[in-house]
Structures are given as structure tokens and as C-alpha cells.
A and B are shown apart, each in its own frame.
Chain A
């Protein structure tokens, strides 16, 4: 049973517009959430994270929103740029931290159209 779900396998957005990537989770023990970006043949690169004590974290063009009651988080990228085209993974961790590793979604392939 998937504990972290990214229901959109792909998303196409026009350059300059906002990209919104969604993620849902089922494990209420998760207390830390991360977004990773992955280019082909490379490892995932950390983008931004949020602790469960917050509902928003912003870093430049990237903002992550957390809705704990809905067990939902989203990553907003604005404005979207061609270099943002990649696969984006949502990940979560529980208080046992490293002992359980990170639980990842299957990823959303973001395509930025010129």
C-alpha cells in the first residue's frame, strides 16, 4: 500500500506560468516532507522541505504548502522555466527518521512548454 501518492504521472505547463505538483499521504506519523527533482541518469536533488509544524515554506520560485488535515502537500513553481522540466518526487519521513528512510511517491514528470 502506497503511503505517499503522486496521482499525476505527468504535467505540462507553459513557460512563465505556475506549476503545481500535488502529493497525498496516508501515514499520519509522517512529520517531515521533502520535494526532490530528478533529471534522467542523475540522482534526485533536494529542492525544498517542510516540517509538519508549518503550513508553508518558500524558497525563491519554489513554495511548498502542507495541509495536515487533508494529508496533502503541493509544490508551486512560479514562474516556470524550461530548466524545471524534470521528474519531481514527493517524500516523507516519520519520527524514526533515518531508520525508516524516506518514503517516496512515484514521481510527476513536469514538462515546461516554451
Chain B
């Protein structure tokens, strides 16, 4: 499809394991965003990429979180040594350029046991 694609759609893992979440933005979109939505909360901004670079990583919740984007396209969000509080829906969005409206994927529902 032509929309933002995220995989996996669901991930259940044990506490302490590492997980990698993937986002395929809309083709041609230079800006890419990661958000997280915990139960009963709004979307929490994590990180933004313009091209392959992320100018500000301060939104990442802890140093267990990292993200990268290669080739100006696919992005991965990695969580090391997962904790139960990491359980949430992780959403990726892309936009044609910074400041344009963002198009969201359906998210990855992450459950840490």
C-alpha cells in the first residue's frame, strides 16, 4: 500500500529482551517521527528524523532506546533490556517535509511480560 507501514503489528516479549521495531514511511517523505502511546495516554513524541539524521534525541525515554534511519527511508526503533513500563503502542509517522501534516502507520503494540 501507499501508507506508512510498521512491523511487527504486535510483539510480546519477556522483560530484559531487546526488541526492534520497523517503520517504512511513505515513499518520498523526508521527515519521519516516532511516538509512543501508553494506555490511557495521548501520543508521546520520541524522535524525529529529517533524512537520515535525528537532530534531537532528548525525547527518547532512556538510554535503552535508540533509533536510526538509513537511506532516507526505513527506520528502526530499538529498545534494549525491555522493562514492563515499555509496554505501549509505538507509532511511526512521516510527512513530505517538516511542518507538513503527518501520516501515521497503524503502530506496533508492544507487550512486555
Where the two chains meet, the residues of A that have a C-beta atom closer than 8 Å to any C-beta of B are 4, 6, 32, 34, 36, 41-46, 49, 89, 91, 93, 97-107
Contacts and interface: CB of A to CB of B under 8 A. Distances in A.
Nearest to B6: A43
Contacts, number: 64
Contacts of A46: 101-103
A102 B41 contact: no
Contacts of A98: 31, 33, 48, 50, 95, 98-99
Contact of A103 (B33, B45, B107): B45
Contacts of B105: 43
A67 to B, nearest CB: 21
A105 B45 contact: no
25 contacts: A43-B105, A43-B106, A45-B104, A46-B102, A46-B103, A89-B43, A98-B31, A98-B48, A98-B95, A98-B99, A99-B48, A99-B55, A99-B98, A100-B48, A100-B56, A101-B35, A101-B48, A102-B43, A102-B102, A103-B45, A104-B43, A106-B40, A106-B41, A106-B42, A107-B42
Interface string B75-110: 000000000000000010101001101111111000
Nearest to B48: A98
Contact of B42 (A32, A97, A105): A105
Interface residues of B, number: 29
Counting chain A CB atoms within 10 Å of each CB, which of B45, B47, B98 scores highest?
B45
A41 B33 CA distance: 19
A97 B97 CA distance: 10
Contact of B99 (A36, A42, A97): A97
Contacts of A4: 42
Contacts of A93: 99
Contacts of A103: 45
A39 to B, nearest CB: 10
Contacts of A43: 4, 91, 93, 104-107
A102 B31 CA distance: 13
A94 to B, nearest CB: 11
